[in-house]
Amino acid sequence: MKTVIYYFTGTGNSLAAAKTIAADLGDCELVPIAPLADTTGDIVPSAGRVGIVCPVYDTGLPVIVAGFAGRLGLVGTRYVFAIVTLGGTGVSALHQLNHILKEKNGRTLDAAFAVKMPGNFPPVHRPPEGKERDAILASADECLKEIAGRIKKGEHVPPGFAPFSSFMYFATYRFFAGAVHTGDKDFSVADTCTSCGTCAMVCPVNNIKMEEGRPAWQHHCEFCCACLHFCPVEAIDLHSMRGTKGRGRYRHPALKLEDMKVQNGRSDPGVSAINKT
């Protein structure tokens, strides 16, 4: 059965997860969600099986993914699954997705999975490094292989019971979602910036313009933090909560600059197709 997997990623965990699943399923197309925000109307995949893979933000979905899900038409879809990648707490994001799909299509996910991967939000937790990071990635890989097997079998897997995550979602997510686009006012750039433009190139939603050789955030941010983590000289900082100075940076080891350019439509999307027949 043909599969289309829609993905969103800031630092590569969700893309790596999507690629692992795609390779295992075969006959699978990877489609970035970000460029779809520039289109209107329903998004109707021509595939029997549809997947959504994305990170958890503030115990919910990235706002751009929630918007995408509200336009996803599943009339011809036989099986729909979702995988959220997270640093610790956020199964509630799968319940949120179920709610959106139910409103739009009158049906929920056939299978819902959460996979622990390295956290990428230094204002709250330092991203893991070295052996700790590698162990988390190895365990995520095992988990993803098992998930691919369950998807192939067409198993029904509802999202797990998640009282703490759901409490946090109801308490905080709406504040995150309401302020996310202008949250970029808390980013700053130091004089060590070399004007290389990497931050602008990797932004999934093209929210950064280079002005006089410096990044200028345009206030339609998704808070994925790709700019922060990709800056080759760590000149970018985020000033919310504990801040990011000296608190580490993270990218999935397989993530390339080219992957981010495919995601934001700056490169040929054809290269994202895996096992396309």
Ligand X SMILES: Cc1cc2nc3c(=O)[nH]c(=O)nc-3n(C[C@H](O)[C@H](O)[C@H](O)COP(=O)(O)O)c2cc1C
Half-sphere exposure of 257 (CA within 13 A, CB side): 9
Measured from the CB of residue 26, what is the shortest distance to ligand X in angstroms? 23
Annotate 221-277 with DSSP letters as a single string.
Answer: -----HHHHH-TT--EEE-STT-STTS-----TT--HHHHHHHTTSS-GGGGEES--
DSSP conformation class of 171? I
Measured from the CB of residue 117, what is the shortest distance to ligand X in angstroms? 4
Measured from the CB of residue 197, what is the shortest distance to ligand X in angstroms? 21
Nearer to ligand X, 189 or 224 (CB): 224
Nearer to ligand X, 7 or 79 (CB): 7
Measured from the CB of residue 83, what is the shortest distance to ligand X in angstroms? 10
Helices (H), the chain: 13-25, 63-69, 92-105, 130-152, 163-168, 174-179, 198-202, 226-230, 257-263
Measured from the CB of residue 68, what is the shortest distance to ligand X in angstroms? 15
B/e letters for 52-86, b = 16+ CB within 10 Å, e = fewer, are bbbbbbbbbbbbbbbebbebbebeebebbbbbbbb
What's the farthest any 2 CA atoms get from each other in the chain?
A: 54
With tokens 């622990």, the residue in question is 116
Nearer to ligand X, 32 or 119 (CB): 119
Nearer to ligand X, 77 or 251 (CB): 251
Nearer to ligand X, 151 or 225 (CB): 225
Nearer to ligand X, 91 or 109 (CB): 91
Measured from the CB of residue 128, what is the shortest distance to ligand X in angstroms? 10
- Residues lying near ligand X in the complex (CB under 6 A) are found at 9-14, 55-59, 85-90, 117-121, 223-225, 252
Residue among 124, 178, 149 at smallest CA distance from 21:
149
